[in-house]
Amino acid sequence: MPTYTVRNSNFNLTSKQQKKLAEGITKVHNVVTGANTYFAQVIFNKTKKNNLFMGGKKVNERTLFLLGQIRAGRTKKIKDKLILELKKIIVKSTKLNDTQIWVYIIDIPPSQMIEYGAVLPDSGKEKQWFNSLSSGLRKKLSKLEK
């Protein structure tokens, strides 16, 4: 369901910071939206040196971009809380300040997403979706649940 892509520019994230971010992003998404943790994936990418521009000018400042693709159907209140909590976990995990962090959330209709080989359910229908999966897949996903 949620795919979060972290792109850091002009600095490196340590393995420890990546782990802390992945765990924090997963937990925030789970707590705020109620979605199971096994749906959350966090992907890390680093921008090559001299490949970040804003306003047509090269940026040398440390910057982190978080792009979250989530299932559509959540309220503005939930998405507002989600985006603010994600920013907090980034600050805590990286020691960057607010002006160095960019967070974007994109809603995708569940009917336009397939994960684990199955079209995703509407928000709130996760239990029925899970129960419709094969026993082997349910076992695999249960091991990923925190």
Buried b / exposed e along 51-65 (16+ C-beta atoms within 10 A): ebeeeeeeeeebbbb
Higher pLDDT, 8 or 118: 8
What's residue 115's pLDDT?
87
Provide the number of structural domains found in the chain. Answer: 1
- Contact (CB, 8 A) for 58 and 50: yes
In the prediction, which pLDDT does 123 show?
A: 83
8 Å CB contact between 62 and 96 = yes
pLDDT tens digits for 31-46? 999 988 988 999 999 9
% of the chain surpassing 70 pLDDT = 99
The domain that contains 80 carries what CATH number?
A: 3.30.429.10
- Residues with Cβ < 8 Å from 130, sequence gap 6 or more? 36, 138, 141
| Domain around 53 | 3-144
pLDDT in tens, 88-126: 999 999 999 999 999 999 999 999 999 888 899 888 888
